[in-house]
Amino acid sequence: MSAHSDETVDIGEVELLQAPELPMTSDAILSDLTHYFGRMLGRRTIRTASPFLYQAVVYATRDRLMERWGKTRMAIERDDNRRVSYLSLEFLMGRLLRNALLNLGIEKETAEALNRIGLDLEDVYDREHDAGLGNGGLGRLAACFLDSCATLSLPVVGYGIRYQYGMFRQRLENGHQVEEPDPWLREGFPWEVERFEFAQTVKFGGRTTSRTDSGGKTVFEWVDTQDVLAIPYDIPIPGYRNDIVNTLRLWSAAATDEFDLEEFNAGSYADAVASKNLAENITMVLYPNTATQDGHELRLRQQYFLASASLQDSLRFYTYHHGNDVRKFAEKNCLQLNDTHPAIAVAELMRLLIDEFGIDWDEAWDITRNTMAYTNHTLLPEALEMWPVSMFRRLLPRLLDIIYEINARFIEEISQRWPGDNEHIQRMSLIQEGSEPMIRMSYLAIVGSFSVNGVAELHSRLLTAGLFRDFADLWPDKFNNKTNGVTQRRWLAACNPQLSTLISERIGAEWKTELSQLQKLGGLAEEEEFRRSWGDIKLANKERLAKNIEDKTGLIIPTNMLFDVQVKRIHEYKRQLLNVLHAVHLYDKIRRGDGDDLVPRAIIIGGKAAPGYEMAKSVIKCINNVARVINSDPEMTDRLRLIFYPDYNVSAMELICPAADLSEQISTAGKEASGTGNMKFMMNGALTIGTLDGANVEIREAVGEENFFLFGLTVDEIEELRGKYDPQAIIDADEDFSRVIALLESRHFNRFEPNVLDPIIQSIREPADLWMTAADFRSFVDAQGRVDDAYKDVEHWTRMSILNTASSGRFSTDRTMRDYNDDIWKLDPIRLNLK
């Protein structure tokens, strides 16, 4: 055999990683990171600020993950574990280094290694760019799920998209939001491993043909397609000190070689390049969520690209072990759909089973329905996804055929249940008729899944009573609740190290994997000494945040102020406006000399508005204008601050939530599906002021009503009021409210910018205001008064703060993932070592 032969020699399986595990000592870490810095990255002098040092530290860490990653994969294959594919268009991972070191248990050793060469691990952490591949709660939830699944040893793979540009960065110009691209991959992303050997081909366009095969069966073919390559990039997801490393697999689009060649041969170089761009555009940028679903074709391409590549990958994995008989696929696989975004997977699995594996419709449908599970994340009807049939026909003709067939058979089922009831059929059809017929993606997800869940008790109840009522009547057993959570490893242990240490000193460290242990803090709330330590740590965290805010905005916030925080996407239903109205009310009260009883407050608001969501952008402008007036009034200096925190993201929250005294969860009742920021604040000892909405209901139940500031109309009261709502009458009847509106109208906050606040003022006055901001003004202001009273009694406040942390045990994603696994997934944990 010549040395240049392409033939490979069968040498049997060679285990390349036979070496003993890498030592976890500071010596070994130091030697590895200097190796990477000098020999791999080719740098000589180390400066803390260098991105290369950060990269070298990641490589040293990744080596230690890599061997565990391989062993996890081998154990799953050996035991032929049933596995879950978590399909999500968003994974809002944030930074990975601190979390990886914490979970591996080598944070101390790594810090020591760096110390020895005069460097600080904290500075290295700061060099990492956030992986901002998500909009907000839904994407961050997916990231917390991955951490908990790895910690619980559950074989769950995250499938998502490797966007070249993540969530846009927010800059402020004269109080207006300006969006900038987020080139987060620019300096490299050292965590990922490209796995081109697992690339998949995804088809678009073309047309379908059918023919009868030799056995008389009709066979469908999808031909003349434009194919795009899906290249997977794997990111390791370490469990907490259990040697498990799971996988987040992100797909990147690339042009196929044939695609290029065809055009090139046809003589058009420019067209070839244009086609290549079209293919690669698919994974270029994350879509920001707008108020209403907008239906861009590229977004549908993204959804299908993710669904198809991930399903083909799961089938590849299955057939590798089980051969081409895929009839037992559902026994070994479950696909959890994160909202309707990947719902096209229902039709795509049908297509693959029928067209590629030759399975009959009925059997394919059984497999599909036993594989898919769907999670809904919104109650806003205007956010429910629909795609024009015409777009489907052009882009995914074979999938449209399949959706029509699913619908025809489904309508048959409805007709049997409700004979002759055309209204039911129209209401429940997967196709919404009209001049532009639309496909209702949530209905496709419900019909094609064996489980449909909401994300908080109230939300799940409202789904089955409202949006999905007909489906719940038809299949009551399909519907269930899975209350959200957050991972305490990131949202307490990593982001609040001092509090974490204090807690572990007193109740042990078991809470890091069993959050219900925090209950034990309840008793300590009565200890004066413990309360003092608790308060000192909150103060230190407030100082850290104040410094960060001063660096970013130049504003100085006295840390004796109550830190009153609302950070989340800017949306009308979340009612940042109500918060601003309260700020204006306090400002007005102080100016009138009626503010002596008020507790000094820093109101901190942060969040991004979708670029196309004008009203949300006006809210940002409004906050900033009011802030400028308040913050430049010397009378306010020690009494009131209003801060708009720029470019809010995951890393910002890690600084913010440990420093908050008060958590604002003030959505219009019935509109916030769950909320997860509320849980992060609670875990870090903030008290909540909130409506009876989403998970607030469960938070209040857990901590007790005496430790929660409740206000506002209930869901039923909101619905009852619709049609009769008269905001002007409410304003007129309330002196404080009238003064606030008068001040806004006097252009006090927009002296040289006539009309910029008009849409805001108008929305408050609008009888058709869906969010009924005015309806809750009085009750909100009164509740804030109770907050002030409580805050004045430091001992009492600290007791309540401790009780909030102590009662947050239910809101760990460890609990959420156990619930998913017990009721939906039914996975056996990965066993690394056979006993």
Binding residues (CB under 6 A) for ligand 26V: these are 135-138, 141, 287, 289-290, 293, 299, 339, 377-378, 383, 455, 484, 672-676, 694
CA distance linking residue 92 with residue 69, whole number of Å: 21
State the nearest-atom distance from the C-beta of 122 to ligand 26V, in Å.
30
Residue with smaller CB distance to ligand 26V, 90 or 736: 90
- Among residues 466, 472, 484, 417, which one has the least CA distance to residue 446? 472
| Coil, helix or strand at residue 405 | helix
820 φψ region: left (φ > 0), alpha (ψ -120 to 50), beta (else) = alpha
Interatomic CA distance for residues 414 and 409, integer angstroms: 9
Which lies closer to ligand 26V via its Cβ, residue 141 or residue 623?
A: 141
Closest CB to ligand 26V among 290 and 432? 290
Question: How near is the Cβ of 554 to ligand 26V at its closest, in Å?
Answer: 32
Looking at 95, 249, 377, 424, which residue is catalytic? Answer: 377
- Residue tagged active-site, from 341, 542, 574, 700: 574
Q: Which of 525, 538, 564, 534 minimizes the C-alpha distance to 689?
A: 564
For the bound state, the minimum distance from the C-beta of residue 778 to ligand 26V, rounded and expressed in Å, comes to 25
Closer CB to ligand 26V, 576 or 798, in the complex: 576
With H, G, I as helix, E, B as strand and everything else as coil, classify residue 305: helix
Query: CA angle at residue 776 from 774 to 780, to 5 degrees?
Result: 120
Helix axes 397-417, 361-371, angle to 10 degrees: 90
Per DSSP bridges, beta strands 91-94 and 131-133 are antiparallel
Select 136 or 238, whichever has its Cβ closest to ligand 26V: 136
Q: Where are the alpha helices (DSSP H) in 554-610?
A: 576-591
676 as an active site residue: the answer is yes
- Indicate the residue among 147 and 672 with the shorter CB distance to ligand 26V: 672
Q: How many CB atoms lie within 10 A of CB 381?
A: 9
- Annotated catalytic residue within 676, 688, 798, 813: 676
Distance CA(77)–CA(484), nearest Å, equals: 30
Catalytic residue status for 792 = no
Distance CA 722, CA 224 (A): 53
**Contacting residues for 550 by C-beta, under 8 A, at least 6 apart:** 556, 557
In this structure, what token pair is assigned to residue 617? 């952008």
- Catalytic, 569? Answer yes
CB 90 within 8 A of CB 133: yes
Q: Which of 169, 568, 571, 641 is catalytic?
A: 568
Token pair of 490, please? 């990131």
Between 147 and 401, name the residue whose CB sits nearer to ligand 26V: 147
Which of the following is catalytic: 127, 129, 341, 569?
569
Least distance from ligand 26V to the Cβ atom of residue 96, Å: 21
d(CA 453, CA 613): 28
**Residue 290 vs 637, nearer CB to ligand 26V:** 290
CB of 341 to ligand 26V, least distance (A): 7
Taking the C-alpha atoms of residue 729 and residue 825, their distance in angstroms, rounded to an integer, is 52
Strands 662-665 and 687-690 turn out to be parallel
377 is catalytic: yes
State the minimum distance, in angstroms, from the CB of residue 696 to ligand 26V: 10
Instruction: Report in angstroms how near the CB of residue 686 gets to ligand 26V at its nearest.
Output: 17
Nearer to ligand 26V, 608 or 639 (CB): 608
Separation of alpha carbons 400 and 388, rounded Å: 11
Work out whether strand 176-180 and strand 333-338 pair parallel, antiparallel, or are unpaired. unpaired
Residues in contact with 611: Cβ distance below 8 Å, sequence separation at least 6, in sequence order: 168, 179, 288
Do 16 and 23 meet the contact criterion of CB atoms below 8 Å apart?
no
Name residues whose C-beta falls within 8 Å of residue 391's C-beta, 6 or more positions apart in sequence: 295, 297, 300
- Least CB distance to ligand 26V at residue 835 (A): 38
Nearest distance from C-beta of residue 569 to ligand 26V, angstroms: 8
Q: Is 680 assigned a catalytic role?
A: yes
CA 293 to chain centre: 18
Closer by beta carbon to ligand 26V, 136 or else 175: 136
Q: How many residues does the chain have?
A: 835
* C-beta neighbour count of 86 within 10 angstroms: 25
Shortest Cβ 713–ligand 26V spacing (Å):
18
**Which residue minimizes CB distance to ligand 26V?**
137
Nearer to ligand 26V, 256 or 808 (CB): 808
Active site residue 108: no
Minimum separation from the CB atom of position 785 to ligand 26V (A): 27
How far, in Å, CA of 687 to CA of 367, rounded?
A: 47
Tokens at residue 778, please?
A: 């009085």
C-alpha dihedral sign at 248, 251, 252, 254: positive
3 state DSSP class of 640 = strand
Q: From the candidates 301, 531, 641, 680, which is the catalytic residue?
A: 680
Query: How many other CB atoms are found less than 10 A from the CB of residue 105?
Result: 12
Catalytic residue numbers? 377, 568-569, 574, 676, 680
